[in-house]
Amino acid sequence: MNEHRPTADESTPTADLAAAARLAGLAPSIHNTQPWRWRVFGSTLQLWAVRERQLPRTDPLGRMLTISCGAALHHARVALAAEGWQVAVDRLPDPAQPDLLAAATVRHRIDVTPEAVRLLQTARVRRTDRRPVTDTPVDPAVIEHLRRVSEREGARLHVLRRDEVIELAGAASRAHRVEGLDPDWVEELAYWAGGERRHGLGVPDATIPSQPPPTTVPDRDFGPSGTLPIWPGHDREAVYAILYGDEDAGLAWLRAGEALSAVWLEAMLHGLTVLPLSAAIEVPQTRQALQRMLAGLGEPFLVLRIGVGDADHVAPPHAPRLPAEQIVEIVP
């Protein structure tokens, strides 16, 4: 049964667009850089890239920045659907303004479905958990469903076989070694990770495992200052998948970010955790290894670890977020 449809007296497009932009601030982003800015014009919400928060050494092309912004765009769409708005999205609408990534315009009222409300609630509690997953296998039917969700958002998932997971582990290890030998990369990571992060950006100690998790595929080493306790577990029953698109360009990156958000939220509704891994994408040599796994089907953007989390342990804290007034502008 459809839920209550808001009336014109209960909310306005401008107010709901501003609320959607605030909700979008909870989206995942590389190193929690939150590289987005929103502008509200009447019935339209614009998404702008903030290049000052691009990672010049890790992400020189802006691929991860755009994927992060795509995830925020999907979060905003989720919020608007839960408020009962049909939305038209124009992606990369102005070639003369490459930092204008999207414009979302509300068209008319629609019924609010229970699914829309559940997705909004899930977006509010979503967080990144870098700890091991349990030994409970992931239902293949759910993975197939997540593949369809990704395709609906304009990207695709290639689920890795066991031998490809071993190859991925090698590529990730090589990428970490290459980046660890680069002083500029080490300095950049140290700037964005560790400490309490009271200014609202970056990866705080409280979300970094206190020791490297004993997994086949290594996660990024954020340094020795993590305080998040880890539990017994591994990634033997995790599913690894490559999120990919048809071309290595801005529109495909944006759609990949929307797919990342959609897959993540839908996975949570099925009791799963998602951990995005980007190191093997960041290093050209190891990115080629992922391209070979795709056998020419497309361009790799992210690796996703999907698994069953441990419900008996407390979830990690949310990473800090910038205040809304720093990311949302309402134009009279």
Tell whether 149 and 60 lie within a shared domain.
no
Least confident among 132-141, 196-205, 213-222, 305-314: 305-314
Residues 6+ apart with CB under 8 A from 208: 130, 193, 194, 222, 223, 225, 226, 227, 228
Tell whether 124 and 144 lie within a shared domain.
no
Flag whether 67 is in a domain.
Answer: yes
Helix residue ranges per DSSP H, 98-249: 114-125, 140-152, 162-180, 183-192
Residue 184 CA from chain centroid, whole number: 25
Q: Which of 262, 300, 332 is nearest to 73 (CA)?
A: 262
Tell whether 243 and 271 lie within a shared domain.
yes
> Using 50, 70 and 90 to split pLDDT, how confident is the model at 232?
confident
70-119 confidence digits (pLDDT tens): 999 999 999 999 999 999 999 999 999 999 999 999 999 999 999 999 99
Residue 202 CA from chain centroid, whole number: 14
Average pLDDT, the chain: 94
> Using 50, 70 and 90 to split pLDDT, how confident is the model at 224?
confident
Domain of residue 252: give its range: 140-308
Tell whether 219 and 87 lie within a shared domain.
no
Flag whether 316 is in a domain.
Answer: no
pLDDT at 156: 98
Which of left, alpha, beta for 194 (phi over 0: left; psi -120 to 50: alpha)?
left
Tell whether 115 and 234 lie within a shared domain.
no
Task: Calculate the CA dihedral of residues 285, 287, 289, 290 and round it to 10 degrees.
Answer: 180
Backbone angles phi, psi at 129, to 5 degrees: -120, 110
Tell whether 114 and 152 lie within a shared domain.
no
pLDDT at 6: 46
Q: Rounded distance, CA 16 to CA 129, Å?
A: 30
Flag whether 2 is in a domain.
Answer: no
Tell whether 161 and 219 lie within a shared domain.
yes
> Using 50, 70 and 90 to split pLDDT, how confident is the model at 8?
very low
245-297 confidence digits (pLDDT tens): 999 999 999 999 999 999 999 999 999 999 999 999 999 999 999 999 999 88
Which residue has 């008996």 as its token pair?
A: 312
pLDDT at 324: 95
Cβ burial of 327 (10 Å; 0-12, 13-18, 19+) is buried
The arithmetic mean of pLDDT across residues 304-314, rounded, is 89
User: Per-residue pLDDT for 162 more than 80?
Assistant: yes
Is residue 210 within 8 Å of 227, Cβ to Cβ? yes
Which residues is 46 bridged to in the sheet?
39, 103
Flag whether 254 is in a domain.
Answer: yes
Give the helix/strand (H/E) hosting 309. none
Tell whether 120 and 149 lie within a shared domain.
no
User: Per-residue pLDDT for 11 more than 80?
Assistant: no
Q: Rounded distance, CA 137 to CA 238, Å?
A: 7
Tell whether 145 and 233 lie within a shared domain.
yes
pTM for this model (two decimals): 0.95
- The count of domains in the chain is 2
DSSP symbol at 89: E
Helix residue ranges per DSSP H, the chain: 13-24, 63-82, 114-125, 140-152, 162-180, 183-192, 250-269, 279-282, 284-294, 324-327
User: Per-residue pLDDT for 3 more than 70?
Assistant: no
Flag whether 6 is in a domain.
Answer: no
CATH number of the domain residue 110 falls in: 3.40.109.10
Tell whether 82 and 145 lie within a shared domain.
no
Flag whether 107 is in a domain.
Answer: yes
Tell whether 193 and 84 lie within a shared domain.
no
Percent residues over pLDDT 90 in the chain? 89
Tell whether 258 and 116 lie within a shared domain.
no
pLDDT at 315: 86
Flag whether 313 is in a domain.
Answer: no
Residue 34 CA: distances (Å) to CA of 24, 48, 181, 194: 10, 11, 26, 16
Q: Which of 249, 255, 247 is nearest to 297 (CA)?
A: 247
User: Per-residue pLDDT for 1 more than 60?
Assistant: no
48-75 confidence digits (pLDDT tens): 999 999 999 999 999 999 999 999 999 9
Backbone angles phi, psi at 169, to 5 degrees: -60, -40
Q: Rounded distance, CA 275 to CA 28, Å?
A: 10
